[in-house]
Chain A
Amino acid sequence: MKHVLAVIVENKPGVLTRVAGLFSRRGFNIDSIAVGETEVPELSRMTILVEGDENTIEQVIKQLNKLVDVVKISNLTNESTVNRELALIKVKAEPHMRAELTQLAETFRAKIVDVSLDSLIVEVTGDVEKLKAFELLLRHFGIQELARTGKISLMRGVKYIKMNGEGRKNG
């Protein structure tokens, strides 16, 4: 089963290596990882998609917690969340295909952000399923290049991860 972890870490050099290293050393599988700054400049947020059963995830969380630079971990797997991922896709597009592609993009609320003689770059945002579906369709035209950001998630409604509130941390 896939789990979604929001990991708040110190925004310091080497932190990504520590986290990634821990996953490989302990034999945990990362599906995707997205990192960026948060509303608090000294803290970054990593959204990590990890595959494993309940026990594995418990170990992942406990082991991550032992990293001194990890400030807080929230397991968003069973929370109601808004999830987004962004993809940039360069598709082959001879001039006569452009109309069809533009229409397809509109259906997915994707944007065409660059046009050249025989290709287009499409930008699409959404949850993971939508991105997959869109990618499958574009394959018929021929994908030259594809880049995805990895998923990010926020809890819906009133809940939020408090940055300075005490997360339970252990040594």
Chain B
Amino acid sequence: MTGAQMVVEALKQEKVEVIFGYPGGAVLPLYDALYDAEIRHIMPRHEQGGIHAADGYARDTGKTGVCIATSGPGATNLVTGIANAYMDSVPLVALTGQVPLHLIGTDAFQEADITGITMPITKHNYLVKDVKEIPRMIKEAFYIASTGRPGPVLIDFPRDILAAEGFFKYPERVEMRGYKPTYSGHGGQINRAMRVIKEARRPVICAGGGVLISGAQQELLQLSEIAQIPVTNTLMGLGSFPRSHPLSLGMLGMHGTVYANYAVTQSDLFIGVGMRFDDRVTGKLEQFVPGAKVIHIDIDPAEIGKNIPVNVPIVGDIKRVLTQMIKKAQKCDSGEWISRIDQWKQEFPLCYDCAEKELKPQYVIEQISKITGGNAIIATDVGQHQMWTAQYFSFEKPRTIISSGGLGTMGYGLPAAIGAQIGCPDETVFLIAGDGSIQMNSQELATAVFNKLPIKVAIINNRYLGMVRQWQELFYERRYSSTSLEFGPDFVKLAEAYGAVGIRITTAEEVVPALERAMEIKDKPVIMDFLVVSEENVYPMVPPASPIDQILRGGGK
């Protein structure tokens, strides 16, 4: 068996159903082996599209995404996607081709030191130097990518290794003395946490992406309801707690709800669950939860105490830890607190001004939320439209938001939506994109059309790099330096050029009919170009480096 055949065989053993890959010289042997393999292969139009698609697939299915790229430029085109997956803890295995072993280090044609380049943005990576190592390395790669705190793993295959002959035996177990994640929470710490919770009067849970990764939404709901603790979410954690639940506070942080930010700031107990105290969440760190004890539950011990001091650290898998906690949970005396929060909800709801005839971006997203009943997978790009999605789409179910949180990668959305639709063919997949972001990977429309994916793309077209424009308006005296997109393409024609459906929407009345029409189309993508007002700002907003309760409420009320 050749090295390339071993790779294919190993992927089968790992039950890989779909690969997102792009061929090239160094991976020719691998593509030859794939020619006869019964693994679905999706060819994007750019390696970045491929890896983001694998990432979107992993986020909505929970399975490990797999992508392939050739050596040199193919491999370097993966870099953004790898960093993106690393920041958001997405399980990925990236397979790259490399120049033959004897040429490594000679600046050979299409040589790039991809293991060196990706060392700081992978959970682990490998350069294969002997065909015998292939089965073990692939086994380890999948194991590392998908266990503990998930993340991307890269394996670099010199071309001659892919062509070399070897004996294939897939290992049953992995033996790595250097990698042993902790899954169960420490009993003593759990007891301490439960004592602290019982004494709390103003508790808040903040649920992050870790809850979704661990599949702990049910346990989270139970703990919150038994102990009567309100729940806020990070961007990554949206969908881990139903937004329509009375105890839901929506998103926290820079563009979070006023009531979430007030509640967190005035809490006497902050329970961080599978979240990492990112600066977009905490605002000015020194003034974050000034009067609260902190319980922090995470599978990655390095996250605990990294940004803020913690009173009760619990390292473990969220689902297991919450299960351990639920067994001992009691109602805490939070009645007064919850009614204070409800008052804030009344007083400071999410809202926006809307004059008649204006097409507002928030309205578009509200209508998408309504028409789907929260029953859809929502991919986003990065910018204002992403924040409005987080605010105005009612995320009810886990693994329904597919958004680049940690890295904030423009151009993530379309390929990620493709991966998500391939992973969940029966779900409605929406992409809420920016007119800027969509242009960073719009070539993937070809992939979507070719694969007959009925993705509903809503371009929130404000003719600006809106989020950057907003900062220029607020902090740089409206000096709109290089943020205008007035020369954007005609997105309806772009859709048609690719064989997709294009619809332009210019008024509020057209929104619902357009969405209804889009929902009817089942065999190709629909691009809806929503020409929204151009200088709308995202509010609430915590100015950078301010404490999160100093929140600008902006327009509306």
Q: How far is the CB of B270 from chain A (nearest CB, A)?
A: 19
Interface residues of B in 281-318 (CB under 8 A from A): 299-302, 305-306, 315
Which of B179, B299, B300 is close to A169, meaning CB atoms less than 8 Å apart?
A: B179
Q: How far is the CB of B319 from chain A (nearest CB, A)?
A: 16
Interface residues of A in 137-171 (CB under 8 A from B): 164, 169-171
Cβ–Cβ < 8 Å partners of A120 in chain B: none
Once the chains are docked, how many angstroms separate the CA of A101 from the CA of B115? 50
Q: Contacts A65-B301, A65-B302, A68-B144 given; indicate if A171 touches B120 (C-beta within 8 A).
A: no
B327 an interface residue at 8 Å Cβ cutoff? no
A62/B302 in contact, CB under 8 A: yes
Cβ–Cβ < 8 Å partners of A83 in chain B: none
Which of B116, B177, B179 is close to A171, meaning CB atoms less than 8 Å apart?
A: B179
Cβ–Cβ < 8 Å partners of A69 in chain B: 178
A18/B119 in contact, CB under 8 A: yes
Interface residues of A in 89-115 (CB under 8 A from B): none
A171/B305 in contact, CB under 8 A: no
A81 an interface residue at 8 Å Cβ cutoff? no
B178/A67 in contact, CB under 8 A: yes
Which of B120, B147, B179, B302 is close to A25, meaning CB atoms less than 8 Å apart?
A: B120
Once the chains are docked, how many angstroms separate the CA of A62 from the CA of B115? 23
A31 an interface residue at 8 Å Cβ cutoff? no
A171/B147 in contact, CB under 8 A: yes
Q: How far is the CB of A121 from chain B (nearest CB, A)?
A: 34
Once the chains are docked, how many angstroms separate the CA of A68 from the CA of B177? 8
B124 an interface residue at 8 Å Cβ cutoff? yes
B148 an interface residue at 8 Å Cβ cutoff? yes
Which of B148, B182, B301 is close to A62, meaning CB atoms less than 8 Å apart?
A: B301
Cβ–Cβ < 8 Å partners of B177 in chain A: 71, 164, 169
Interface residues of A in 67-87 (CB under 8 A from B): 67-71
Cβ–Cβ < 8 Å partners of A9 in chain B: 178
Once the chains are docked, how many angstroms separate the CA of A164 from the CA of B305? 29
Closest residue to B120 on the A side, CB-wise?
A: A25
Cβ–Cβ < 8 Å partners of B301 in chain A: 62, 65, 170
Q: How far is the CB of A71 from chain B (nearest CB, A)?
A: 5
Cβ–Cβ < 8 Å partners of B178 in chain A: 9-10, 67-71, 169
Q: Contact residue range for chain B?
A: 20 to 34
Q: How far is the CB of A28 from chain B (nearest CB, A)?
A: 13
In the complex, how many residues of chain A place their beta carbon closer than 8 angstroms to a beta carbon of chain B? Answer: 24
Closest residue to B153 on the A side, CB-wise?
A: A68
Q: How far is the CB of B201 from chain A (nearest CB, A)?
A: 30
A21 an interface residue at 8 Å Cβ cutoff? yes
A17 an interface residue at 8 Å Cβ cutoff? yes
B148/A171 in contact, CB under 8 A: yes
Once the chains are docked, how many angstroms separate the CA of A22 from the CA of B123? 12
Cβ–Cβ < 8 Å partners of B306 in chain A: 59, 62
A63/B302 in contact, CB under 8 A: yes
Once the chains are docked, how many angstroms separate the CA of A9 from the CA of B124? 14
B557 an interface residue at 8 Å Cβ cutoff? no
Once the chains are docked, how many angstroms separate the CA of A25 from the CA of B127? 22
Closest residue to B303 on the A side, CB-wise?
A: A62
Q: Contacts A17-B119, A25-B120 given; indicate if A66 touches B176 (C-beta within 8 A).
A: no
Q: Contacts A70-B178, A71-B178 given; indicate if A170 touches B300 (C-beta within 8 A).
A: yes
Cβ–Cβ < 8 Å partners of B302 in chain A: 59, 62-63, 65-66, 170
Interface residues of A in 31-78 (CB under 8 A from B): 55, 58-59, 62-63, 65-71
Could you write out 23 A-B pairs with CB less than 8 Å apart? A10-B178, A17-B116, A18-B119, A22-B120, A25-B120, A62-B301, A62-B302, A63-B302, A67-B124, A68-B123, A68-B144, A68-B179, A70-B178, A71-B177, A71-B178, A169-B180, A170-B181, A170-B300, A170-B301, A171-B144, A171-B180, A171-B299, A171-B300
Further pairs besides A68-B124, A68-B178, A171-B179: 19, Cβ < 8 Å: A9-B178, A10-B178, A14-B115, A14-B127, A18-B119, A25-B120, A59-B302, A62-B302, A63-B302, A66-B300, A68-B176, A169-B179, A170-B181, A170-B182, A170-B300, A171-B147, A171-B180, A171-B181, A171-B182
